[in-house]
């Protein structure tokens, strides 16, 4: 299984969230990508999401996404590959990966805020920068189908990732420092379950270095084609 983070999409021009000069600072994302903000100032959340949608709409998969997709298509019948991603840009699927778990939701979809509403999440690349959109079925505000701070990961996506982590023979983390929960737990779980563990990232991990059998430092779009090709 492969766990991917923001570093995989950096070469596609999508700002890494926490990186120097990233979205983080520009939008004060820590304050506005929160569940609290969704209720107190939803337009602020939508402005950030609109900015991200605009960037993701025109972004293209890079050699890191392509190497991961190509690996899936080279597998034998007895093998399988699960990609669990913390990214919300959909670039793994656009590169051709078929088995992708989106741990933090998807930028491409919108859903109703009301839990009682029957409206299913729907594909929506609209930008909402002046007005919060409303549900056509119940009138409640609409929200992006992404996981905000203070929110839990989608239970189905989390469980599917745990299953992949506990049953994989190779755990490869790419473009994530594996220091934030739950990514940091996944690598230890994979190692304890007997998997070979590898990290490909620009920077060394702060606290989980001992959990990896191999650490390759460098850009994912350069290292993955070499390692997986
Ligand atoms: Zn509704």
Q: What's residue 18's pLDDT?
A: 53
pLDDT bracket for residue 20 (50, 70, 90): low
Tell me which of 178 and 12 has the higher pLDDT.
12
CA 55 to chain centre: 15
pLDDT, tens only, 103-148:
999 999 999 999 999 999 999 999 999 999 999 999 999 999 999 9
Question: In angstroms, rounded to a whole number, what is the distance separating the alpha carbons of residues 47 and 128?
Answer: 6
Residues in the chain: 229
Using the CB atoms, write b or e for 142-166: b if 16+ within 10 Å. Answer: bbbbbbbeeeebbeebeebbeebbe
Q: List the shell of residues around ion ligand 1, using CB closer than 5 Å.
A: 112, 114, 117, 119, 135, 137-138, 140
Task: Name the active-site residue from 104, 109, 181, 216.
Answer: 104
- Cα(117) to centroid of ligand 1, in Å? 4
Q: Enumerate domains of the chain plus CATH numbers.
A: 2-228 (3.40.50.1220)
What percentage of the chain carries pLDDT values higher than 70? 93
Residue 9 near residue 175 (C-beta atoms within 8 A): yes
- Cα(146) to centroid of ligand 1, in Å? 17
């Amino acid at each position: 299984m492969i766990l991917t983070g923001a570093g995989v999409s950096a070469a596609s021009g999508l700002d890494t969230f926490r990186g120097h000069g990233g979205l983080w600072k520009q939008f004060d994302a820590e304050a506005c990508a929160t569940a609290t903000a969704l209720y107190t100032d939803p337009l602020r959340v939508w402005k950030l999401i609109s900015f991200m949608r605009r960037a993701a709409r025109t972004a293209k998969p890079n050699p890191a996404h392509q190497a991961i997709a190509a690996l899936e298509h080279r597998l034998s019948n007895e093998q399988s590959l699960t990609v669990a991603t913390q990214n919300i840009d959909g670039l793994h699927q656009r590169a051709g990966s078929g088995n992708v778990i989106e741990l933090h939701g998807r930028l491409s979809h919108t859903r109703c805020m009301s839990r009682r509403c029957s409206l299913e999440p729907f594909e929506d690349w609209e930008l909402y920068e002046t007005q919060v959109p409303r549900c056509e079925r119940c009138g409640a505000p609409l929200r992006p189908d992404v996981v905000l701070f203070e929110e839990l990961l989608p239970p189905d996506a989390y469980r599917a990732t745990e299953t992949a982590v506990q049953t994989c023979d190779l755990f490869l983390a790419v473009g994530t420092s594996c220091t934030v929960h739950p990514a940091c737990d996944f690598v230890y779980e994979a190692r304890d379950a007997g998997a070979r563990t590898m990290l490909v990232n620009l920077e060394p991990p702060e606290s989980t270095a001992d959990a990896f059998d191999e650490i390759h430092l460098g850009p994912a779009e350069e290292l993955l084609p070499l390692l997986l090709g």
